Amino acid sequence: MSNETLATAPVLRFAPSPNGALHLGHAYSALLNERLAAETNGRLLLRIEDLDRTRCKPQHEAAILDDLAWLGLRFDAPRRRQSEHGDDYASALARLETLGLVYPCFCSRSEVERASEGRRDPDGAPLYDGTCRGLAQDEARARLARGEKAAWRLNMRRALDAAPAPLVWSEFGEGAIPYERSAEPSVWGDVVLRGRDLAASYHLAVVVDDALLGVSDVVRGRDLLAATSVHRLLQELLGLPAPRYRHHRLVLDTNGAKLSKSRQSLSLGELREGGVSPGEVRAALGFGAAGSGSDAVALS
């Protein structure tokens, strides 16, 4: 690995998006970060991932802070908001543009969908066919100058050529012994790094954020495992440190489905209103003497 080994006290972060209420899956991730920070004498930071201003609301952020305080979580620095760091994302994108690794894409969502012919990326979004990749620079500049909105995409072929091989990361899962996992960013195609109306996509923002905060250990759900391939590629292209990764299990409901905001899973606030205590939540998730640590959690 080209990046230097991180040798200082571990830095971890919990990074919720204020686009809805926290549920038990969020609580599990936050508490696992807390446990690992305590076990390693590390620092635990809070980052609010609020780039999507149409969905992220102040009332959701306030509720998140209340829920975390109710659980007894304490953080080692004031919370940091992504919305305050647009210049940092722009600088990273400009560096990639200088290297010839990004390009503007003027395709609409419907056009991308039609051209994908049903092919999907790991998130289930239509896989981009590269329509704008070969657009002449003069034409692209002229369209931007006319005020046409564009997303900025990573030229995956060029990016892979520019990155070291093999591209890997150190993965712990929920264990104590790491193993080397190979990154496969090509399955994402020419991934979006900045949307038409966003300062940065999740992929670019999280990589820049983790570097700015000095995050040494990324602890997050297995649903983001595939995304780590893109993150490792961007870290190498931008010359950023590579954290250690710990992708943990997902908390399931009693029917075996993943908890999520879109499924309207029971929120922490609703559990609080129903008389559930913080200790009961911790125990049910495996962070207390009575906790079973099982994948399925039922609280009422």
> Would you name the residues annotated as active-site residues?
261
Which residue, among 135, 143, 139, has the nearest Cα to 102 in the 3D structure?
135
Q: With the C-alpha atoms ordered 128, 129, 132, 136, is the resulting torsion angle positive or negative?
A: positive
Radius of gyration of the chain (CA): 20
Phi-psi region of 264 (alpha: psi -120 to 50; beta: other; left: phi over 0): left
Return all residues near 70 (Cβ < 8 A) that are at least 6 apart.
268, 272, 278
Residue type, 270: E
Phi, psi of 160 (to 5 degrees): -65, -35
How far is C-alpha 50 from the geometric centre of its chain's CA atoms? 12
Torsion sign over Cα 102, 246, 127, 125: negative
